[in-house]
Amino acid sequence: MSEQPQVHPVRDEFAANAWADKAQYEAMYQRSIEDPQAFWAEQAERLEWIKTPTRIKNTSFDRDNVDIRWFEDGELNVAANCLDRHLAHRGGETAIIWEGDDPADSRHITYAELYERTNQVANALKEMGVGKGDTVTLYMPMVPEAAMAMLACARIGAVHSVIFGGFSPDAIAQRVVGAQSRVIITADESVRGGKHVPLKDNVDAALTRDGTDVCEHVMVVKRTGGDIDWHDHRDTWFHTMVDKQALECPAETMNAEDPLFILYTSGSTGAPKGLKHTTGGYLTYASMTHQYVFDYKPGEVFWCTADVGWITGHSYIVYGPLANGGTTLMFEGVPTYPSHGRIGEIVDKHQVNILYTAPTAIRALMAHGDETMHSSHRDSLRLLGTVGEPINPEAWEWFYRVVGKERCPIVDTWWQTENGGIMIAPLPGAIDLKPGSATKPFFGVRPAVMDSDGNVLEGQAEGNLVILDSWPGQARSIWGDHERFVNTYFSTYDGVYFTGDGCRRDTDGDYWITGRVDDVLNVSGHRMGTAEIESALVAHDAVAEAAVVGYPHDIKGQGIYIYVTLTDDYEASDELKKELIQQVRKDIGPIASPDVIQWAPSLPKTRSGKIMRRILRKIAANECDGLGDISTLADPSVVDELIEHRANR
Ligand code: WT7
């Protein structure tokens, strides 16, 4: 495969002021690979340790003994690193700029204020009996209380599990049970695009499900004052509980390998996995990537448009920026409300310097034309970033030309929930940009391209993306199921971390991520397992069998295409399609709404009964000429029938 990408070389003025220029990147990268012990011992100094670590890297990717430890004899507290140590120098500076859904609503919260409020939340949690090692579930809107709750947990050594506010009661219940959370923090409602989402009602519904009686307390932030049910035995208002607390709360001494949080993400099989991230390595890595990848300078306003319910929000709304004493912008709403110009208007209003967003948001804006950006100037912007899925070169160029006015480098950052922080990205002072390529590995990251037999390919190559050795931000396990962790990431190829992504490396050594090679979909940058959606569907009486695949979608990147075989008692109808869509939304949440449903009298299967998804993907993508070998199918005629009635032409 050959490509002629338009290269945007690093500009000299940018490199001159950047944290790393080309020579510095190369020297630091070499050292990080050749002597990780020394490199990361130095980098750990960016944090304030109660006990400085002396054992730096102790990691094994050996399938029989996957064991990952960084800074294992070090002690520190994450909240103290994000708050206390900044008080003396920048207590009066803004830590969080909150921009509400309504453009008339915004707030600045200083480090001193965030410190006090976090301590109060921490004391409230303690009053509810939460201590070191206990889990707390957060199901919250994008409000400052979400960051306070995360930091409050970190302060007392509790482990937070944030659930994205778009998930359904069933999804909440599954995660509360998985994490065995005795406390949930939520809000009455969230507000997005002028609409209210009933968070507290969803929690109430979740807590009727089996196993959720482990939850004893629900603390409710009053966001809208909307109507909610109240259960005296377990519900308390956040403000009544928190306002009365002392402004000081000692920070618990934590070992570097104590868990900081659990975050659930979808895989190719089974229920979502709760990835376990720990304390010292995670914070070192979040802080360092935030500084170098975004070339973050003190005083700059950094805006990551993700939700705190995703890893991107954890690392680049909360932990990275605050560890670095930065100003982080948290936006409650959606980019298109009240008008398509909102993102640019927020940039102007708060003089944002760095904007980190997702390709799907860029494509949605682009679809409305350049005029969408005419309501703002965006002259404060210095750097742009993208994350979540491959960015198509047209969207890249539009982002560069129209949003950044050809002044701002774009960092295309590849990484995963499992990684804790950015893994492959062009450091903006060091690496020439190629639209569509995440380019080069971050310090300490050793990517490789492997063929399906487990051979590492050299030079220009295409295959599976693996990582050869550990980096500090890596997830250590799956909560309560280490075996699944080993099986998912370290068993496909022994001794390396398997990402689940395919990639290509070009003659310059730049990486181009081509998308998932497993049964995981990426819809608007949200990760979804086909197995999860299928099990939601077969739970409906009408469904005998279902197969879910992704297909190319102009805005979302991938859309959800579903083949359904009905049971004998049901007839295909538009009504039934609606019901099935509802079923998936109810089971998982609106983010998993199917785009296309095709009735399939039967599915293409091998003689051993395995569904051939490769064929279903081709039909969904409308690529019916390139189906490849179908002779191994039990009944090849099934395919003609599906092609004839395909829903996506
Ligand atoms: C999957 C991880 C932590 C980032 C947010 C999503 C895809 C992510 C890129 C990129 C191409 C990307 C991969 C990856 N992905 N960033 N810059 N270019 N693909 O985190 O939900 O854990 O999903 O998102 O397929 O495996 P996630």
pLDDT in tens, 415-464: 999 999 999 999 999 999 999 999 999 999 999 999 999 999 999 999 99
When pLDDT is cut at 50, 70 and 90, the band that residue 2 belongs to is very low
Q: So what's the pLDDT on residue 547?
A: 96
* Ligand 1 center to 474 CA (angstroms): 15
74 is in an annotated binding site: no
* Ligand 1 center to 414 CA (angstroms): 6
When pLDDT is cut at 50, 70 and 90, the band that residue 1 belongs to is very low
390 is in an annotated binding site: yes
**With a 6 A CB cut-off, is 100 part of the ligand 1 pocket?**
no
Q: So what's the pLDDT on residue 628?
A: 80
CA-closest residue to ligand 1 atom 18: 390
**With a 6 A CB cut-off, is 311 part of the ligand 1 pocket?**
yes
Structure confidence by residue, pLDDT tens digits, 372-402: 999 999 999 999 999 999 999 999 999 999 9
Question: Atom of ligand 1 at shortest distance to CA of 438?
Answer: 17
* Ligand 1 center to 390 CA (angstroms): 8
Q: So what's the pLDDT on residue 648?
A: 66
**With a 6 A CB cut-off, is 395 part of the ligand 1 pocket?**
no
**With a 6 A CB cut-off, is 504 part of the ligand 1 pocket?**
no
**With a 6 A CB cut-off, is 411 part of the ligand 1 pocket?**
no
389 contacts 525 by C-beta, under 8 angstroms: yes
Structure confidence by residue, pLDDT tens digits, 236-246: 999 999 999 99
Residue 148: DSSP 8-state: H
**With a 6 A CB cut-off, is 360 part of the ligand 1 pocket?**
no
High-pLDDT (> 70) share of the chain, %: 99
Q: So what's the pLDDT on residue 649?
A: 58
Whole-angstrom CA distances from 347 to 108, 206, 330, 379, 428 are 15, 37, 12, 9, 20
Within 8 A by CB and 6+ apart from 115, the residues are 83, 84, 87, 91
* Ligand 1 center to 325 CA (angstroms): 26
Q: What is the average pLDDT across 528-555? A: 94
User: Can you read off the two tokens belonging to residue 278?
Assistant: 């720990």
Q: So what's the pLDDT on residue 629?
A: 81
Structure confidence by residue, pLDDT tens digits, 180-207: 999 999 999 999 999 999 999 999 999 9
199: left (phi over 0), alpha (psi -120 to 50) or beta: alpha
Within 8 A by CB and 6+ apart from 458, the residues are none
396 contacts 410 by C-beta, under 8 angstroms: yes
Whole-angstrom CA distances from 531 to 271, 383, 535, 546 are 8, 38, 6, 10
Residue 3 has pLDDT above 70, yes or no: no
CA 413 remoteness from chain centre? 12
* Ligand 1 center to 115 CA (angstroms): 32
High-pLDDT (> 90) share of the chain, %: 93
Structure confidence by residue, pLDDT tens digits, 141-178: 999 999 999 999 999 999 999 999 999 999 999 999 99
Q: What is the average pLDDT across 544-573? A: 95
Q: So what's the pLDDT on residue 607?
A: 87
317 contacts 304 by C-beta, under 8 angstroms: yes
463 is in an annotated binding site: no
Helix (H) or strand (E) run with residue 292 in it? helix 280-293
321 contacts 328 by C-beta, under 8 angstroms: yes
Distance CA 101, CA 287 (A): 28
Question: Atom of ligand 1 at shortest distance to CA of 312?
Answer: 3
Q: Which of 182, 186, 160 is nearest to 274 (CA)?
A: 160
243 is in an annotated binding site: no
Distance CA 116, CA 129 (A): 20
Question: Atom of ligand 1 at shortest distance to CA of 525?
Answer: 6
**With a 6 A CB cut-off, is 312 part of the ligand 1 pocket?**
yes
- φ and ψ of 544, to 5 deg: -85, -40
* Ligand 1 center to 13 CA (angstroms): 31
Q: What is the average pLDDT across 203-224? A: 98
Strands 259-265 and 254-255: unpaired
Asked if omega into 338 is within 30° of 0 (cis), the reply is yes
Mean pLDDT is lowest, of 80-84, 139-143, 635-639, for 635-639
**ipTM here:** 0.99
Distance CA 455, CA 493 (A): 9
Q: So what's the pLDDT on residue 265?
A: 96
261 contacts 274 by C-beta, under 8 angstroms: no
524 is in an annotated binding site: yes
Q: So what's the pLDDT on residue 75?
A: 99
**With a 6 A CB cut-off, is 389 part of the ligand 1 pocket?**
yes
Most distant CA atoms of the chain, gap in Å: 74
When pLDDT is cut at 50, 70 and 90, the band that residue 627 belongs to is confident
Q: Which of 389, 464, 514, 558 to mutate to test the pocket of ligand 1 (most atoms within 8 A of CB)?
A: 389
Structure confidence by residue, pLDDT tens digits, 38-80: 999 999 999 999 999 999 999 999 999 999 999 999 999 999 9
When pLDDT is cut at 50, 70 and 90, the band that residue 604 belongs to is very high
Q: So what's the pLDDT on residue 626?
A: 79
* Ligand 1 center to 482 CA (angstroms): 23
Question: Atom of ligand 1 at shortest distance to CA of 526?
Answer: 21
Structure confidence by residue, pLDDT tens digits, 286-324: 999 999 999 999 999 999 999 999 999 999 999 999 999
Q: Which of 273, 357, 363, 522 to mutate to test the pocket of ligand 1 (most atoms within 8 A of CB)?
A: 522
Question: Atom of ligand 1 at shortest distance to CA of 499?
Answer: 26
Strands 477-478 and 106-110: unpaired
* Ligand 1 center to 475 CA (angstroms): 15
**With a 6 A CB cut-off, is 522 part of the ligand 1 pocket?**
yes
Q: So what's the pLDDT on residue 339?
A: 94
CA-closest residue to ligand 1 atom 12: 389
Dihedral (C-alpha) 127, 132, 136, 142: value to the nearest 10 degrees?
90
Distance CA 221, CA 185 (A): 8
**With a 6 A CB cut-off, is 519 part of the ligand 1 pocket?**
no
Q: Which of 289, 415, 439, 528 to mutate to test the pocket of ligand 1 (most atoms within 8 A of CB)?
A: 415
Long-range pairs of 27-34 with CB within 8 A, sequence gap ≥ 24: 28/443, 29/440, 29/441, 29/443, 32/443, 32/444, 33/444, 33/446
448 contacts 496 by C-beta, under 8 angstroms: yes
Q: So what's the pLDDT on residue 4?
A: 61
192 is in an annotated binding site: yes
388 is in an annotated binding site: yes
User: Can you read off the two tokens belonging to residue 418?
Assistant: 């499992």
Considering the chain, what is the average pLDDT of its residues?
Answer: 96
**With a 6 A CB cut-off, is 413 part of the ligand 1 pocket?**
yes
